[in-house]
Amino acid sequence: MGNICRSPIADVVIEQRLAEAGLSGSVTVESFGTGPWHVGEPMDERSARVLREAGYDATRHRGRQVTAEHAGRFDLVLGMDHANVTDLVALLPGDAERILRFRDLDPEGPGDVPDPYAGGPEGFTSTLAVVERTADALVDRLGDTLPVREPTA
């Protein structure tokens, strides 16, 4: 929603998984929120902490908001929950067929990625676990369809 918790975690994890799979040069990942509350801000410190503790780089993210100007720009748009998917369809009406919930790709089954914002540290840890397994499944699927290509400098 605000682009400071779940989506930034997913962005960082997917980028790392793509790099490990040799797909960085074939896929571009961008993270946006559906609302303007945190545009320009770094990710929530609790998100950054759980990423750092798991060995990820959480320093480069700044909150952004998806707008109608982004319509048609993406091959796949992943919303973290039903409410975000509904907002994304409204914001990107021509892209509706490319919009899924993130966990539609989760090997443990579809559903919403719980929003850890109002909870304690354990919510961020469980969000990371959901994101990691779903990112692995996403990258596996992409690896089956895309050529492995190292990124250009």
Within a domain: residue 128? yes
Q: What's the pLDDT tens digit per position in 39-53?
A: 999 999 999 999 999
pTM of the predicted model, to two decimals? 0.93
Tell me the per-residue pLDDT of 77-92, one tens digit each, with 9 for 90 and over.
999 999 999 999 999 9
In a domain, 147, yes or no: no
Indicate the SS3 state at residue 99.
Answer: strand
pLDDT at residue 27 in the model: 93
**Cα 106 from Cα 65, distance rounded (Å):** 25
Alpha helices, H only, 21-103: 45-53, 82-91
Domain range for residue 77?
6-108+116-142
Q: For residue 54, give the nearest of 134, 126, 102 by alpha carbon.
A: 126
Contact 41, 65 (CB under 8 A): no
Q: Looking at the annotation, which residues are catalytic?
A: 6, 115
Q: Is residue 152 part of a domain?
A: no
Q: φ and ψ at 141, to 5 degrees? A: -65, -40
Say what percent of the chain tops pLDDT 90: 91
> Which CATH number do you get for residue 18?
3.40.50.2300
Query: What is the Cα–Cα distance from 84 to 74, expressed in whole angstroms?
Result: 16
* Residue 149: inside a domain: no
151 found inside a domain: no
| Bridge partners of residue 78, in order along the sequence | 100
